[in-house]
Structure 1
Amino acid sequence: MVEQDNRRGILLMVMVTFIFAMQDGISRHIAETYNVYMALMVRFWFFAGFVLVIAARSPGGLRRASRSALPWAQLFRSVVLIVEVIVMVQGFVYLGLVHSHAVFACYPLLVAGLSGPVLGEKVGWRRVVAIAIGFVGVLIILQPGFGVFSPYALIPLAAATMFALYSLMTRYVGRVDPASVSFFYTGVVGALIVTVVGIWHWENMTLADWGWMAVLCVTAATGHFLLIKAYEVAEASAIQPFAYLQLVFAATIGVIVFHEPLEMNVVIGAGVVVCAGLFTLWRARVAAA
């Protein structure tokens, strides 16, 4: 049994959000030049290798990690994640890191709102109000003048919806499958699925961009490893609010590296969304207690 240490878990979560924000910046750079399907395929190949190593060293080995009580649900969950990543990276290209992450920050609200119909969980009126306020924040971000109602403006919202569905499916399969099985399907099965598409979109990359791809792969494995450790040593309710730091780090990279504008409506709207999300997390913790 791993000793619980919330302070250590929070530190690990902060590191994870910074690594994931760096990943998003690298993903935007690569996707602006190369096909996103190929880039995601290479990334998942490396991630699958990482997952296989972890599974082989776990109790029961690869046989236990690959045995699911809900294989079709796990397969659907893996497909949803792959499509979500593709859509979100396209959002980085068309909208930038700042706007994409500002809208994507609403996904915990979508998780809270959909947990009732999908998982049969009770959602009280306070969380319903918080969800509504959070989506007012999204409308503030996507106000007229930025491109509201254009297809590009809906890209990160679609990604947030898919990631919320992926999160709910993870909780659903987690009722009967251990985390190691879900991790195996995410990496190995995900790599097989994306290869079916990505192999037909292969492009030659420059040596420098292969270097960026290597960094992307290493950071992906490192980030997920640290995330696992964070949830091992700390309570999920204690560290989950710090996941919002990815918005801060990604926005900083977008402004400094890619020279993206930081409009006041985006700052205000993102603040509303984050506050509403933090409230829903707090209410979920109170309800669980």
Structure 2
Amino acid sequence: MTAAPATPLRPRRAALAMLSAMAIVGLIDTTVVDIAKVMSVWQFFILRTALAAPLIVAIAWVWGARLRPERWSAVALRSMLIAAAMAFYFGALGFVPFAQALAGLFTAPIFVLLISAFVQGRAIGPVRIVAVAIGFAGVLLVLQPGDEGLHPAALVPMLGGLLYASGSVITRTLCDGEGTLSMLLGMFLAQALFGVVGLALTGGGDDFITRGWTWDIHSVGHWIVVQAVFSLVGVGLIIWAYQHGEASHVTVFEYTVLVFGPLVAWVAYGQALGPLGLLGIACIICAGTLIALRSRA
């Protein structure tokens, strides 16, 4: 098989793409708070893909872009990892405040560093070890475990962070040269697959995880459309940014969602963070930035 051509690096455009993506994600992901009251995360995945996939195909047709991957196995692996990460992240939004779910998801750089040290055997140095400690402390400040410890649902987004980290690394390595629309379509189709399997394995409950299929979605139908259209734009920008920028550089700008997201959640739903929560987010941003800059060095 002929190797796909390397994607040229465009650091400034990649940074702008990531900033734009995080503003979009921080705005639309808060709508899941309302969606979670009506349907399951599995139905949400299926409906969103049903709307987004035809849009991707239409865009590819207009632009003359190729949807067929160069490396099927690499794109499939990336798609499944990111879809699984989103299942953990979105599923948690039905049970924990938005800022807590985001904090858990953004343990991803910490996991990347730990994988580098313990799986790949790379030296990480004292600065990044301190950064891991700061990041972990920040997560605890946001989650604020009580006398009974952490609620299990608060730990779920951290599993998403592990999977998201793996998918982000694969985007720049195994999927270098793949089309943005190709990987975008793969991710949405993988989420739909998760949705079908999730509905088959659950159902009969009355929460975001265990609900069966419902047709009474008129109250949140407009949010599904918003999710389909703007998540397509946002995730597309994320993929483009990781393809055209060094992961260590792009990741720094990805942390702006920890500002956009909680701000929107506070304005729209009154989910205000206390001083400790704000300090925790600052710690997570600091840790991620330190890790990214030291990795870049």
TM class by shorter chain equals 0.7 to 0.9
Q: Is the 8 A contact 1:28 1:89 kept in 2?
A: no
Gapped runs of 5+ residues in structure 2? 1-6, 204-211
Matched, 1:153 2:154: yes
Aligned to 1:35: 40
Q: TM-score if structure 2 supplies the norm length?
A: 0.79
Is the alpha carbon distance of 1:153 and 1:208 closer, same or farther for their aligned partners in structure 2, counting shifts above 3 Å?
A: closer
CA shift for structure 1 position 146: 8.2
- TM-score normalised over the length of structure 1: 0.81
Contact 2:9/2:246 (8 A) holds in 1: no
Are the counterparts in 2 of residues 138 and 273 from structure 1 also a CA contact under 8 Å? Answer: yes
2:207 match: none
| CA displacement at 1:261 relative to structure 2 | 3.3
Distance 1:172 1:121 in 2: 17
CA contact (8 A) 1:25 1:254 kept: yes
Q: Match of 2:175?
A: 174
The 10-residue stretch of structure 1 (149-158 or 136-145) with the greater mean CA deviation from structure 2: 136-145
Q: 1:252 to 1:196 in 2, by over 3 A?
A: same
Identity %: 26
Alignment size in residue pairs: 280
One-letter identity of the residue aligned with 1:96: P
Task: State the Cα deviation string for residues 179-211 of structure 1 (Å, max 9, x = none).
Answer: 555444323344345334448832113434211
Relative to structure 1, the CA distance from residue 179 to residue 127 in structure 2 (aligned partners, 3 Å threshold; closer, same or farther) is farther
CA distance in 2 between partners of 1:120 and 1:59 (Å): 43
Q: Hey, what does 1:88 align to over in structure 2?
A: 89
SS of equivalent to 1:204:
coil
Quote the Cα distance in structure 2 between the aligned partners of 1:233 and 1:76.
Answer: 20
Change (3 A) 1:206 1:233: same
1:36-55 pair list within 5 angstroms: 36-53=41-58
Relative distance call for 1:172 and 1:117 in structure 2 (3 A) is farther
- Greater Cα offset, 136-145 or 105-114: 136-145
Shift of 1:25: 0.8
| 1:147-201: CA deviation from partner (whole Å, max 9, x where unpaired) | 63221221222222222233244445236x6355544432334434533444883
Give runs of aligned pairs for residues 7-26 of structure 1, distance below 5 A: 8-26=13-31
Counterpart CA distance in 2 for 1:95 and 1:84 is: 16
Aligned in 2, Cα 1:184/1:208: closer, same or farther, shift over 3 Å?
closer
Whether the aligned pair in 1 keeps the contact of 2:252 and 2:292 (CA below 8 Å) is: yes
Name the counterpart of 1:205.
216
Larger displacement relative to structure 2 (131-140 or 13-22)? 131-140
Aligned equivalents of 1:122, 1:55: Cα separation in 2 = 42
Cα RMSD, aligned residues only? 3.2
Q: Deviations over 1:34-82 (max 9, x none)?
A: 11110111112333334434555677834xx23426x2x5434333322
